[in-house]
Amino acid sequence: MQRIKQFSIIISIFLLSFASSADNTKADTPPLIRYNSIHHPTIAPNGMVVSQNKLASQVGADILKQGGNAIDAAIATAFALAVTLPRAGNIGGGGFMMVHIEETDQQFALDYRELAPELATRDMYLDANGDVDRQKAWFTHQSAGVPGTVAGMYLAWEKWGSLKWKKLIEPAIRLADKGMSVSYDLGTNLQNRLDRLTKNPITKQYLYKKDGSAYKAGEILRQRDLAKTLKLIARKGAKGFYQGKTADLIVADMQANDGLITHADLKNYQAIIREVVSGEFSVQGAENTADNYEIVSMPPPSSGGIHIIQMLNTLEHLPLKEAGRDTAEGIHLLVEAMRVAYADRSAHLGDPDFYDVPIEFLTSEAYGKQIASDIDQAQARKSSDVAPVSIAKKESPDTTHFSVVDKFGNAVSNTYTLNFSYGSGIMVKGAGFMLNNEMDDFSSKPGVPNAYGLVGSEANSIAPNKRPLSSMTPTFVFKKNAQGGKDLFMVTGSPGGSRIITAVLQNILNATVHGLNIAESTHAPRMHHQWVPDQVFVEPGISDDTVEELEAMGHKVKKVSTMGSIQAIQVIDGYKYGAADPRRPDAEAIGH
Ligand code: DON
């Protein structure tokens, strides 16, 4: 059955490559290079992989070169990142994959988010005083949701893969087994997290040297137990993780450490293909079709897609282009749109299998217009006037996004995570991989912020087999064409906790409203507002003058470090333009 399906996919992809190669690989016209720009994307005529780690981008690009499609390359990249980027790449976490199939012009939303174990309870993180026990919610075996990554990758392969499953995991196995040269980024990161990560003896054994010190750049890190687990997955598919030896190791680790995940939880885990959320967006003042776009993104249990569309629906009624990018006027309009979106998020968003999320209302043109009409273009509102206030705190920097486009025009936009950098910090004894701490994305107590300062309600309370609400926003932007159809224009996404949605929003606005190339758009300084706390966060690069003007309009501004790590691709006339976010040193766009 599966072979037949695979075979037919191979045939259709072959046909497709003949049918559409003229449209998707334009070697006859030169690519677009703006020599007046400081920032240039990586250009390729066929395919492109952009990820936060160059070794993993290379694995994906090699799969494209060998004739694999975007989905094959995405799967291989995801497994490679699980080895090369241990703080976010994973098999012990979960995420979301958006898939675009060029031949049929279909988009799919693959949900492989972690799930609360059967034994999870609503108040499991509350202590005797009814306060949230952060230590328990963040750094224990109980902080882990049932991992979804392997099930997600396997389902993607069953549906759309064209090469052999084993072939897609072999590069990751090699990197784990033979070892990889530690980069400055990885060495520094492991050194910075040494105290937290070496508290767990298993993590210390797997990610640190025998004497307990961090690997230095250029030294070789081998992950042999991880390689063994990957070999089982290569041989047995998803069953190599959710059943048999790997499952036994996970459950033994849970039982020895007061964890909740059982054999039944693992066996019952299902990745789900959901209906995408989409919305139209036109640049204000545009009179021709070239400036009309369609956004296709991730539905709940991610909040990302809904709020990107909601904010674009709002902003298209405001003079964003005239206000300009990185100006106080422009940032003010963004803040006021973000404020409402994050207020709505706190009340209305949760796992759609448990809670009726008002998707249609939130993404409707009419609601966006109404939000826009309530915005004072010169004066800041207070979040307490938009909805009840609460207090928040910091971001922990690591989830990871990658984007892939192949020579056939198919695309993948994938964001996956362990939640925090290195998740719970706990690695599974014998199996060599890190457990997520995704349970903290639930609202442990209504109104009390989680690690990203996000507050939630009943919609996102803990329940067995429920998925925690996410901000991950893997997204496609299509450009409407003169024939009434649409062409793939952008593939984008980012890590950054609550800041993901606003980072992706600005990446889209920079490339559409402000006309930047994808490198400029990705590199440009960003800002963020999430309703609570009532503060505008600005990156280095937003000028002091702008900050002063914002303050004069009534905003509280906080200068912060970098936010997000966008890995994006733009498609123009068949050329693929890749941009890896310079905010992460090992990120790279590799084309062919
Ligand atoms: O799903 C979410 O929204 C979070 N668990 C994402 C965490 C994240 O992006 C951390 N990295 N910056």
- The pLDDT averaged over each successive group of 10 residues in the chain (592 residues) is 37 37 58 93 97 98 98 99 98 98 98 98 95 96 98 98 98 98 98 97 98 98 98 98 98 98 98 98 63 95 97 96 95 97 92 93 94 96 71 56 98 98 97 97 88 85 96 97 93 97 98 96 98 96 97 98 97 96 97 95
For ligand 1, the distance from its centroid to the CA atom of residue 81, given in whole angstroms, is 16
CA distance 560 to 344: 25
Structure tokens that stand for 573 in this block: 């006339």
Q: Which atom of ligand 1 is nearest to the CA of 397?
A: 12
Buried/exposed 119-132: b ≥16 CB within 10 Å, e otherwise: ebebebbbeeeeeb
Point out which residues pair with 527 in neighbouring strands. 538
Task: Tell me which amino acid residue 551 is.
Answer: E
For ligand 1, the distance from its centroid to the CA atom of residue 471, given in whole angstroms, is 7
- Dihedral of CA atoms 538, 471, 531, 453 in degrees, nearest 10, equals -80
pLDDT at 25: 53
Is the CB of 148 inside a 6 Å radius of any atom of ligand 1?
Answer: no
Is the CB of 398 inside a 6 Å radius of any atom of ligand 1?
Answer: yes
Burial class (CB in 10 A: 0-12, 13-18, 19+), 483: exposed
Task: Tell me, yes or no, whether 366 lies in a domain.
Answer: yes
Task: Tell me, yes or no, whether 319 lies in a domain.
Answer: yes
CA distance 143 to 151: 20
Task: Tell me, yes or no, whether 438 lies in a domain.
Answer: no
SS3 1: coil
Q: Which strands sit side by side in the sheet containing 292-297, from one edge to the other?
A: 42-44, 575-580, 567-572, 486-492, 475-480, 292-297, 277-282
CA distance 51 to 57: 5
CA distance 91 to 227: 12
pLDDT at 347: 87
Q: Which atom of ligand 1 is nearest to the CA of 564?
A: 12
**Locus of tokens 């780690």:** 53
For ligand 1, the distance from its centroid to the CA atom of residue 284, given in whole angstroms, is 32
Is the CB of 497 inside a 6 Å radius of any atom of ligand 1?
Answer: yes
Is the CB of 417 inside a 6 Å radius of any atom of ligand 1?
Answer: yes
Detail the DSSP E strand segments found in 420-574.
Answer: 475-480, 486-492, 527-528, 536-538, 557-559, 567-572
pLDDT at 17: 37
Asked if 399 is an active-site residue, the reply is yes
For ligand 1, the distance from its centroid to the CA atom of residue 399, given in whole angstroms, is 5
pLDDT at 284: 65
Task: Output the domain CATH number for residue 303.
Answer: 3.60.20.40
For ligand 1, the distance from its centroid to the CA atom of residue 11, given in whole angstroms, is 38
CA distance 440 to 462: 10
121 and 240 in contact (C-beta within 8 Å)? no
Which is the catalytic residue, given 149, 363, 399, 522?
399
Task: Tell me, yes or no, whether 414 lies in a domain.
Answer: no
pLDDT at 429: 97
CA distance 434 to 425: 7
The residue range of the domain holding 536 is 277-396+471-591
Tally the domains of the chain.
1
**Locus of tokens 């690591």:** 398
Is the CB of 52 inside a 6 Å radius of any atom of ligand 1?
Answer: no
Cis status of the peptide bond prior to 533, with omega within 30 of 0: yes
Burial class (CB in 10 A: 0-12, 13-18, 19+), 34: exposed
For ligand 1, the distance from its centroid to the CA atom of residue 421, given in whole angstroms, is 9
Is the CB of 111 inside a 6 Å radius of any atom of ligand 1?
Answer: no
Task: Tell me, yes or no, whether 518 lies in a domain.
Answer: yes
CA distance 546 to 548: 5
pLDDT at 26: 56
pLDDT at 28: 73
Task: Tell me which amino acid residue 251 is.
Answer: V
Segment 96-113, tens digit of pLDDT: 999 999 999 999 999 999
Return the closest-CA partner of residue 69 out of 122, 116, 31, 12. Answer: 12
Task: Tell me, yes or no, whether 231 lies in a domain.
Answer: no
What is the β-pairing status of strands 94-101 and 411-417?
antiparallel
Q: Which strands sit side by side in the sheet containing 94-101, from one edge to the other?
A: 272-274, 106-112, 94-101, 411-417, 399-405, 48-51, 588-591
- The best mutation among 422, 472, 504, 562 to test binding of ligand 1, ranked by most ligand atoms within 8 Å of the C-beta, falls on 472
CA distance 509 to 486: 18
Burial class (CB in 10 A: 0-12, 13-18, 19+), 592: middle
Query: What pTM value is reported for the model?
Result: 0.93
Within 8 A by CB and 6+ apart from 432, the residues are 176, 206, 223, 224, 225, 226, 227, 228, 229
pLDDT at 451: 87
- The best mutation among 417, 422, 438 to test binding of ligand 1, ranked by most ligand atoms within 8 Å of the C-beta, falls on 417
Is the CB of 392 inside a 6 Å radius of any atom of ligand 1?
Answer: no
pLDDT at 24: 52
Backbone angles phi, psi at 491, to 5 degrees: -125, 125
Is the CB of 453 inside a 6 Å radius of any atom of ligand 1?
Answer: no
Is the CB of 240 inside a 6 Å radius of any atom of ligand 1?
Answer: no
Task: Tell me, yes or no, whether 268 lies in a domain.
Answer: no
Task: Tell me, yes or no, whether 178 lies in a domain.
Answer: no
pLDDT at 290: 52
